[in-house]
Amino acid sequence: MLKCAISKTIPNYNYYDRIDYPLTAWEAMTINQIAIHFRSADDLMRAAMIYDNLLNCIDKYWLDEDLKSNMYAMVSFNYSSCLGQLGERQKALAIINKAIELIRPRGDLFGLLKLFYNKGFNMYKLGDKDESLPWFVSSYYGIMIFENQDEVVRITRERIKTNFEICL
């Protein structure tokens, strides 16, 4: 269904091809959803390739800094999560760090906080327990200010309790 939808505006879209042309926000969101589909179907390599292509396209062609920041945050979170599932933690951290640098000046707080969580998680999995704690805590307390984020707060609280034996 998503492949059919994207083919309405990009008739020759192929998962394996590098996206070397500007995308509309709708096209980028649809391609992000295609990658999410492959990730949920455990086709992590294909999802990672799609996320990588999408990030490169956004980075290269998008000029509206606010739109670029929001989309970059979302795709980077998804991509870094996928890379974490693949065990490619250093690459995930590189994606996260680049995204944080890009979106921090734009003020996308919720996007930053999700990336902080992923950064803490990947650092923890690499054995950097002490250095990962501030990223989890920043994510936890930051996300608490948003409405309707009870599940995200609960997950973050449980991760901190499990990994660090700290109750928030």
152-161 pLDDT, tens digit per residue, is: 778 888 888 8
CA distances from 76 to 81, 86, 118, 166 (A): 8, 15, 10, 28
First-last CA distance in the chain: 43
Backbone angles phi, psi at 33, to 5 degrees: -65, -35
Please, is 119 exposed, middle or buried when counting C-beta atoms within 10 Å of its C-beta (0-12, 13-18, 19+)? buried
Res 89 pLDDT > 80: yes
> pLDDT tier at 1 (50, 70, 90 boundaries)?
confident
Percent of the chain with pLDDT over 70: 99
pLDDT computed for residue 3 by the predictor: 77
CA distances from 75 to 3, 71, 72, 82, 126 (A): 18, 6, 5, 10, 22
Smallest CA-to-CA distance from 158 within 119, 117, 127, 122 is with 117
Task: Look at the domain 2-164 and name its fold.
Answer: 1.25.40
pLDDT computed for residue 147 by the predictor: 66
Res 7 pLDDT > 70: yes
- Domain ranges within the chain, ordered by starting residue: 2-164
Q: What is the pTM of this model?
A: 0.87
Dump the DSSP string for 79-119: HHHHHHHTT-HHHHHHHHHHHHHHHGGGT-HHHHHHHHHHH
Measured in whole angstroms, the distance separating CA 54 from the mean position of its chain's CA atoms is: 12
Residue-wise pLDDT for 117-149, tens only, equals 999 999 999 999 999 999 999 998 888 777 667
Res 42 pLDDT > 90: yes
Residue-wise pLDDT for 97-110, tens only, equals 999 999 998 878 88
Does 167 or 27 have the greater pLDDT score?
27
Rounded to whole angstroms, how far apart are CA atoms 87 and 91? 9
Res 62 pLDDT > 70: yes
